[in-house]
Copies of this chain bind each other. A is one copy, B any other.
Amino acid sequence: MQFTSERRLDDGVLEREFTLGEIPGILWTPASASASAPAPLILICPPPLGLSKMYPRLAGRARYYAAEYGFASATIELPGSGDRPRWAAAEQARADLRRVMEAGEPVGDEIVDALVLPLVEKAVPEWRATLDALLSLPEIGGPVGYEGGVISIGARLAVVEPRISAAVLFAGSFVPRTIFEEARQVTIPLQVLLQWDDEGNDRQAALDLFDAFGSKEKTLHANLGGHTGVPQFELDAGARFFARHLT
């Protein structure tokens, strides 16, 4: 992990850009974090729209977590997002998705699988390698929380990565059948966000996925509004969920 920039924000949070091999990322640490008082860590998985586009929202979350709860936060560019290389099958799947949605046709399992499974296969090892690197920093301690906009990545990570203790997931994307089955193996505490009127997301499918998660503690927060309308107060609700499980 190489730090490529460093600046102290006006609230005392240290923001550092880094690269891990070809993966760019950003780490935010509260002013209070040190080797003698390492901060719990939140992994913030962005939606696949590119870090530079998502920066204001991601940084806003990270700075809130740091200021109010003393958490460090980190994010990385997803495979195929931002300036990272695309791959042909993903481009094809995106084109297929656009075509069937514009035609008003149902989105078949093949398209969902082609769209999501390769992303999960690539992103999950990258997140784990990032976690290795972050936890080697003296000012970052466990335990670790995860939050993110691609619920399939979160579900897989929650199953395979034992260092993640709790997760806030956003029920807002197409979920392959295999991931749905993996969800039954998740045992960590979950808080799942659902936008009740999400035009691109089937409400019943989201409720079924919430039902499928194997966790004994899981809470669904359903709010009125469309895909991008998650209320601001859910940031604090998520932070308090993490505070219960990470501190």
Contacts and interface: CB of A to CB of B under 8 A. Distances in A.
Interface of A: 196, 207, 210-211, 215-224, 231, 233, 236-237, 240, 244
Contact of A222 (B196, B215, B219, B231): B219
Contacts of A236: 240
B233 A224 contact: no
B231 A224 contact: no
Contacts of A219: 221-224, 231
Main secondary structure of the interface of A (DSSP, over half): mixed
Contacts of A222: 210, 219-220, 222
Nearest to A232: B244
B244 A233 contact: yes
A217 B231 contact: yes
A91 B6 CA distance: 71
Contacts of A231: 217, 219
A61 B158 CA distance: 34
B221 A220 contact: yes
Contact of A220 (B211, B220, B244): B220
A240 B219 CA distance: 16
A68 B168 CA distance: 25
A72 to B, nearest CB: 23
A233 B237 CA distance: 11
The 3 closest A-B pairs by CB, nearest first: A220-B222, A219-B223, A218-B224
A172 B197 CA distance: 23
Contacts of A210: 222
A231 B190 CA distance: 13
A3 to B, nearest CB: 36
A223 B220 CA distance: 7
Contacts of A216: 224
Contacts of A223: 218-220
Nearest to A192: B222
A196 to B, nearest CB: 7
A236 B239 CA distance: 13
Contact of A221 (B207, B211, B221): B221
A16 to B, nearest CB: 32
A183 B62 CA distance: 38
19 contacts: A196-B220, A207-B207, A210-B222, A215-B224, A217-B231, A218-B223, A218-B224, A219-B221, A219-B222, A219-B223, A219-B224, A219-B231, A220-B220, A220-B222, A220-B223, A236-B240, A237-B237, A237-B240, A240-B240
